Amino acid sequence: MPRWGRWLSAIVLVLWLGWTFLLQERHGGASVVLMSVIDRPISYVYVNGKMGSNTFAFDGFGAGGGGRAGPYKIDGDTVKIDWLLSTTRDQLDKEGLRPEKHSVTLPMPKREKGQDDFCVLMLPDNTPMIRWAHSCPVELDSIVDTYRTRK
């Protein structure tokens, strides 16, 4: 490699490292984690206007297969949860169920240091249970256990 190439490589490396450690935007906030024990899928969830993931219908074992989205800044005294309760193909064809939009405003739960997951657990009566957690699947597993019909 010619001398100018080595110099150019070194300069680019130093600039990239400086940008990475000093100037790069820091991501704070929390991930929105959606879990569900409803026998219908959830197409989307919004937490204070920040979009979360979707989830499968509860199969009696796993909590709906939800994922996480973020990081987002989630703060305030209240939290507004919007979601679309969807249907499986059988529910649509055989039972005639249709997708339903829902919205609820709840008081913001207290957040402790290190709790970077904002958990939304959809309960069978189509109400969300919210909380802050270090890890939603671990901390909500005991609640999901009460709804499991198979091991």
Listed by start position, the domains of the chain span: 27-145
Model confidence pLDDT, tens digit, residues 56-87: 888 877 766 667 888 888 888 999 999 999 98
pLDDT of residue 28: 62
pLDDT at 16: 84
Nearest to 52 by CA among 102, 117, 113: 117
Look at residue 6 and give its three-state secondary structure.
Answer: helix
Q: What is the three-class DSSP state of 88?
A: coil
pLDDT of amino acid 145: 85
Q: How far is CA 52 from the centre of its chain?
A: 5
User: Tell me, what DSSP letter sits at residue 95?
Assistant: S
Residue 20 to residue 11: CA distance in whole angstroms = 14
Answer yes or no: are the C-beta atoms of 37 and 122 closer than 8 Å: yes
pLDDT of residue 65: 62
Cα three-residue angle 45-95-51, rounded to 5 degrees: 5
> What pLDDT is stored for residue 26 in this prediction?
54
What pLDDT score was predicted for residue 151?
66
Cis peptide before 71 (omega within 30 of 0): yes
Give SS3 for 103: strand
pLDDT tens for the chain, 151 residues long, are 888 988 999 999 888 887 777 765 555 688 999 998 988 899 899 999 999 888 888 887 776 666 788 888 888 899 999 999 998 888 888 888 899 999 999 999 998 888 889 999 999 999 999 999 998 888 888 888 888 876 6
